Structures are given as structure tokens and as C-alpha cells.
Amino acid sequence: MTSSKIAAFLICAASLCVGGCDGIAPTRGNGQGSATSSVAGDADQLDAYIGAHNRLVGPFGFYERANYYREADVAHASTDNQFIVGDGSIERGIEQLTEARAMSGAPADLNAAADALIKSMTRVRAHLAELESYYTSKAYLDDKLARGRKEDPQMLAEIEAADADLTRFSDLIDRNMDKREAAMLETLKAKGALLEYNSRLAMSHGRALMTLFKGSEGRDASLFPRADAEVAIIQKAIAAAHAEAAKAGEKDPAELDSLSSMLGSYRSFKQNGRPADARQMLESYNNAVQSANR
């Protein structure tokens, strides 16, 4: 239904702490979402950055591998423990990030954040890769975890540094995505493309709803007034898009069903705080993004 794809970046379980939610699946736009041709370069590089970010925080990416390592608690572990140590798909994420950095158009602060992230993430990947054979071959049984314990403080410090750099990079992507989406919405509204406008408006505020819970611990009731405001906008936009589709004799955009399911899961989570409802909320948003990008 929409003529331009919706670039979305992952909100992973490590930063969205509502009972261990799964992350939004990796999705990238195709650069067509820029409101004017003068920002095409910025849009292309931003989309490339989003793709690299999604690779880093998606399945087998940095957060998954960092969490496995942290949970191993090498400093206090015994040789009977299970260790999942390795670099997963971090290398591919770094490659994509490096390719995106070679492009032009993005703001200087985002490029600087990418430079810092490439440096710290490269260090983490190399160290995890070096340790992988030590743990997978169970060489720690021979030295009673001596090497693991010796290198553990450095490994943890490198993970923390990369985590901080990734958080800054994510925040800057979010800020730039908000600016670009606002420009796109203004353009669509001015053109009278109200079906696409309302669908994108609902998607944009769906992402805002998910982002609102970043960094919160469990069911934080203080967030619900702002979340309810986002829900009201989403609900109104869904209804407006439905009306426009009916007027045009078209089916509702596929993403609207998933967004409605997201709202239902949000309301259930607000009422009972079940982690399963929070996970479903994120999954429904992810499904909406995938539908919008087909």
C-alpha cells in the first residue's frame, strides 16, 4: 500500500527492560523515505547505518553475545559450567557499519559515533573470537579456567565500552529517524496522501511507544501516562487510515492489524505486567514493520 518503506531499527532486550522482551526484528528502509531529493544522501547513509545497527543487535549479534558472556560470570564460575563464548555475527555488523561510514550525508555527530563504535566493537569481536576456541574446545578443563579468569576483566571492560558506544549510536539514529519521519509526514499531509500519512503516523508512534520503555525495569507505572498518549494517537491514526481505505475502495494496510494487536498487548501489559504481553507487544510491532515494508 505505501509507496515508501519504513526504516526501523531494533529495540533489543538488553535496552528494553520490560520483563525480558524480545527485540524488534531487523528491518531497513530503501532510502525512498526522504522527503526531498536534497536529503537523499543523508537518507541513504542513515538507512545504511540502520542496517548495520540491526545486524549488530539482532540474532547472534553484540547484545546476545555480550549477555552470554556476562551470564557466564567467569570470575566465579566452575569448570562444570556451560560457556557460550564467541563473536557470532558481530563481524558482519562491523563490515556493514564500515561500509555505511564510507558513505556521505549523515550528520557529523552520527559519523563520529560510528567511528567510536567501529573501534570498540572491533576490539570486542577480536577478543571474543580469540576466546571462542578456548571455551568450545574446553581447554579450560586443563588450566582450571586460569586463562579465562585472567582475561575476564579485560573482556568485560571491552564489552562495557562497546555497549556504551552502541547506546550512543542508537540514540543518534533514533533522533535522526524522528526528524526524517516528521519531514515525510509533513510532505504526505501536504500532498493529501492521507491513507499513507495515517498509516505512517500510526507506525511512527508505534515505534515511539516501544522506545518509551527503553531502559525501564519491569512494569514502570510512571511511563503509562505518556504511553497512553501514544496509544491514543495510534488508535486515531488507525481509524483514519481505515476510513481512507474504505473511501478509496481498498483493503486496510496490512500493518494496521498488527498495530491493533500491539495496542491490545500493551493494554494487557499495563493491567497485569506479564512479560509475555510485553514480548507480544514487541512482536506485533515487528510484524507491522515487516508488513509495511513488503
pTM, entire model: 0.77
CA end-to-end distance (rounded Å), the chain: 9
pLDDT digits (tens, 9 = 90+) for 239-260: 999 999 999 999 999 999 999 9
Neighbours of 249 (CB within 10 A): 6
Rounded to an integer, what distance in angstroms lies between the CA atom of residue 246 and that of residue 254?
14
Q: Cell numbers of 106, please?
A: 549523515
Q: What average pLDDT does the segment 199-228 reach?
A: 87
Q: What local confidence, expressed as pLDDT, does residue 192 receive?
A: 96
Over range 48-61, report the average pLDDT.
Answer: 90
Q: What is the pLDDT of residues 184-204, one digit of tens each?
A: 999 999 999 999 999 999 999
Cβ 44 vs Cβ 31: under 8 Å: yes
Task: Please say if the pLDDT value at position 75 is more than 50.
Answer: yes
What's the average model confidence in pLDDT over 78-105? 96
Q: What is the pLDDT of residues 105-139, one digit of tens each?
A: 999 999 999 999 999 999 999 999 999 999 999 99
Separation CA 276–CA 113 (nearest Å): 34
CA distance 228 to 234: 10
As a whole number, mean pLDDT of residues 158-176 equals 95
